[in-house]
Amino acid sequence: MTEFQIRLAKISDVEPILAFCQYTWENQKDYMHLVLEKRINNPENKVFVVTLDDIPVAMQQVVILSKQEAWRSSLRVDRRYRRRGLSKLLDSHTNKYLSKINVPILRYCVLSENELMLKIISRRGDKKLDSYSVYKADADTVTSYTNQLIQLDLKHFDDIWSLMIRKKILYKKKSFYTQLIPKCQTITPELVKDCLLGGKVFGLIQNERLRGIAIQSYSELSEEEFYIGYLHGEPEILTVLLCELCKLAYSLGKSVVRGIFPLNDIFGDALSQAAFQRIDQAEAGIYRSSLKIKN
């Protein structure tokens, strides 16, 4: 009898994977056809597949974000092979892979509407770190000619970092830089420097003091909008910062500004005052895997 095997996906797997991903959800479309080929071609992504007679019947992706952390996503099991332990098989394979390359932290996102997945992870005992939601606003078309934001560079690094770690305005224990489709990465000095070098960091300076910053990020699905990957600043300037980002987006030719923000009152108030709308009532829970290795 043939058995389930696990291996890395190859380009010839795209067709059979997309064939079963047509039926991932009952009432909505899967986005996998928009990203799968790019992901398999990118060596930074590890797309693992479970195969039967070398044909994929389940998949999961792991991205190594740094020496410390990895991000897991896109768990999909062909409907014909569900409830046979394939998600568990992929998890234990992922865990073994991460322990082999010494990456200790694995995180992932589950939407609050995915009841089955929530049941599965509560049994696993994984820890929920925070809840996020996606917000968007129109880029500001009635813009004034002045934009208060300036593009920051490496010489601003010390000011940026001291703003980021200033205790009084830390809104949460852990801050992430986010991308869409959701992917969260811990904000570190190295990451900030990379973003500075890429020209992606914008600051609000008033009275010669840096009071707020935003980092532009990207979406795997489209480059048409302006994506906010990180936003931080003194509470009283967060609304201004968001409004200024809408102006900046317009000047860059983008019509929409979008971002994933932690669900808390400080961000919630600033976002609504800046005319951002929460576009999905589902919460995106960010979890940390307990990374138990089962043999």
Ligand X SMILES: CC(C)(COP(=O)(O)OP(=O)(O)OC[C@H]1O[C@@H](n2cnc3c(N)ncnc32)[C@H](O)[C@@H]1OP(=O)(O)O)[C@@H](O)C(=O)NCCC(=O)NCCS
Give yes or no for a contact between 35 and 21, defined as CB atoms under 8 angstroms apart.
Answer: no
Is 24 an interacting residue with respect to ligand X (CB under 6 A)?
A: yes
Shortest Cβ 178–ligand X spacing (Å): 16
Q: Residue 96: CB partners within 8 Å, gap ≥ 6?
A: 293
Q: Which stretch binds ligand X (CB under 6 A): 4-12, 116-124, 141-149, 213-221?
A: 116-124
Give yes or no for a contact between 284 and 134, defined as CB atoms under 8 angstroms apart.
Answer: yes
Is 114 an interacting residue with respect to ligand X (CB under 6 A)?
A: yes
Closer Cβ to ligand X, 67 or 292, answer by number: 292
CA distance 106 to 50: 20
- Residue of the chain from 117, 191, 237, 291 that contacts ligand X (CB under 6 A): 117
Q: How many residues bind ligand X (CB under 6 A)?
A: 17
Closer Cβ to ligand X, 9 or 210, answer by number: 9
Shortest Cβ 225–ligand X spacing (Å): 23
CA distance 164 to 4: 47
Four-point Cα dihedral 290, 186, 274, 218, nearest 10: -100
Q: Residue 51: CB partners within 8 Å, gap ≥ 6?
A: 4, 5, 6, 7, 57
Is 170 an interacting residue with respect to ligand X (CB under 6 A)?
A: no
CA distance 262 to 7: 35
Is 29 an interacting residue with respect to ligand X (CB under 6 A)?
A: no
Helix (H) / strand (E) element for 237: namely none
Q: Which stretch binds ligand X (CB under 6 A): 112-120, 151-159, 181-189, 262-270?
A: 112-120
In the range 197-236, which residues lie near ligand X by CB under 6 A?
none
Angle, nearest 10°, between helix axes 157-164 and 189-197?
140
- Residue of the chain from 18, 118, 120, 191 that contacts ligand X (CB under 6 A): 120
In the range 61-100, which residues lie near ligand X by CB under 6 A?
75-77, 82-88
Shortest Cβ 228–ligand X spacing (Å): 23
Shortest Cβ 99–ligand X spacing (Å): 20
Buried b (16+ CB within 10 A) or exposed e, 262-273: beeeebbebbee
Q: Which stretch binds ligand X (CB under 6 A): 109-117, 154-162, 273-281, 286-294?
A: 109-117
The region that residue 156 occupies, defined by phi over 0 for left and psi between -120 and 50 for alpha, beta otherwise, is alpha
Closer Cβ to ligand X, 76 or 211, answer by number: 76
Is 6 an interacting residue with respect to ligand X (CB under 6 A)?
A: no
Shortest Cβ 170–ligand X spacing (Å): 29
Shortest Cβ 82–ligand X spacing (Å): 3
Shortest Cβ 173–ligand X spacing (Å): 23
CA distance 134 to 284: 8
Shortest Cβ 119–ligand X spacing (Å): 6
Q: Which stretch binds ligand X (CB under 6 A): 114-122, 210-218, 247-255, 259-267?
A: 114-122
Backbone phi and psi for residue 176, each to the nearest 5 degrees, phi listed first: -115, 150
CA distance 248 to 242: 10
What residue ranges bind ligand X (CB under 6 A)? 24, 75-77, 82-88, 110, 114, 116-117, 120, 123
